[in-house]
Amino acid sequence: MNYYIVLILIAIIFIYHLFILILRMNSSKRPIPDNLKDIYSEVEYEKWAKYHKKSVSLEIIESIIKFIALFILFAFKVYAKFASLFNGELANQVLGVVLLSFATDFLIGIGFDYYKVMVLDKEYGLSVTKIGTFIADEVKDLVIGFGLTYGLILFIGYMHKLLGDWMILVVFAFMLVFVLVISLIVPTLMKIKYRCDDLEEGELRTRLLDLLHDNGYEVRKIGVINQSKRSTTGNALFTGMGKFKTIILFDTIIDQLSTDELVAVFSHEVGHGKHKDTIKNYLTNSISILLLILVSWLLINYNSLYTDFGFETVNYGFTFIILSEVILEIASPIRGIIGNKISRIAEYNADNFACSLGYGEALASALKKLSNSNMADLNPHPLIVLLKYSHPTMSDRLKNIYSHVLIKQEEKND
């Protein structure tokens, strides 16, 4: 019974993802909201529509191939057969399953990644990545992803062997510390792929430091990473917990935005800090982690699941596969609706804070420029927004910003 239930769920998950991709494909047929019509010129919009169609089509093809591969791995009990090639030690049994999973994803994904980054994005001016950089990035992502996944699964497996049901508390405590440490060392982790230099002295650095100081923050570092080595898209990060923060700017965003606009973007990020969004996210993630550990524990103790798929006993690597490919995917719509709703409210509040400091118009201008340079979808389907968008749509976001700008102007006039 478990066998057929899992296969049916995998098929349902695929149909759901395909449905979302088709909705995304049709976004190009939706009219641009009136308050966004100055983001793309007529020529730029036609260019975006062509790029959007090709990009989503590529995702659809990749999704179909990945579904076929995953269905075969489950239907023909390939995970168990491959794991049987390794000896019975826990570490080797987990290695067999995780190795097969990562190898399958890598072999399928590498071709699509190459076409997306080295062909499609270059054709539309979004990528400047050289082949050496592309290969290095893919290898680094593979090694880091495999190492972290294999290490965490082994840790959970050995804790279960050693502590039994008490592993729930130990693994939960470990994961809380692990997530916290990762959030604190984001700048260090980014150096694995990017070169990060200090922002040079000048008006921008001075104004960013003043912005944070005026709002009670200290800055560990203001870094600039060499995103221009890979693409033309712009972004910025504001990391760290408590009063000590690190600012990371993509060098591309410095070229795209004025000093006022860059300060406006970080006034939005300071708004997240003022509203304790990082701490709130950490607490929310803690609940999610606890639920995942509880589900993992239930799966570990559900022996018939493993025998139905060809294993003689529990395999912690297969627990991870079931959790990531089935349980989390089935739960993703609910998680998306709840989590993204909370996130969109936080984004509105952060925008409002930037407006309260007088950066509303500059923030709106920055968002428009970034939407253009990143070739953003200006009118996604409402269902996609509900399920997938952690930020409000650009149209709704600008409506909110301009309403606060108007209120602030009226207060000045009074």
**Nearest C-alpha neighbor of 196 from the set 250, 134, 235:** 250
Cα distances from 341 to residues 120, 213, 300, 333, 391, in angstroms, run 32, 31, 32, 12, 9
Q: Which residues pair with 260 in a beta bridge?
A: none
**Range with the lowest mean pLDDT among 81-95, 237-251, 372-386?**
237-251
Residue pLDDT, tens place only, 340-379: 999 999 999 999 999 999 999 999 999 999 999 999 999 9
CA distance 133 to 294: 40
- Mean per-residue pLDDT for 144-171? 95
With H, G, I as helix, E, B as strand and everything else as coil, classify residue 245. Answer: strand
CB 285 within 8 A of CB 179: yes
**Range with the lowest mean pLDDT among 93-107, 152-166, 213-227?**
213-227
CB 120 within 8 A of CB 53: no
CA distance 352 to 360: 8
With H, G, I as helix, E, B as strand and everything else as coil, classify residue 202. Answer: coil
The pLDDT of residue 172 is above 70: yes
With H, G, I as helix, E, B as strand and everything else as coil, classify residue 196. Answer: strand
pLDDT the model gives residue 243: 65
The pLDDT of residue 1 is above 90: no
Residue pLDDT, tens place only, 183-217: 878 778 888 888 888 889 999 999 999 998 999 88
What percentage of the chain reaches a pLDDT higher than 70?
A: 99
Residue pLDDT, tens place only, 293-328: 999 999 999 999 999 999 999 999 999 999 999 999
Cα of 95 vs its chain's centroid, Å:
26
Task: Indicate the pLDDT class of residue 253, thresholds 50, 70 and 90.
Answer: very high
The pLDDT of residue 413 is above 80: no
pLDDT the model gives residue 88: 78
CA distance 394 to 35: 9
Cα distances from 160 to residues 164, 167, 177, in angstroms, run 5, 5, 19
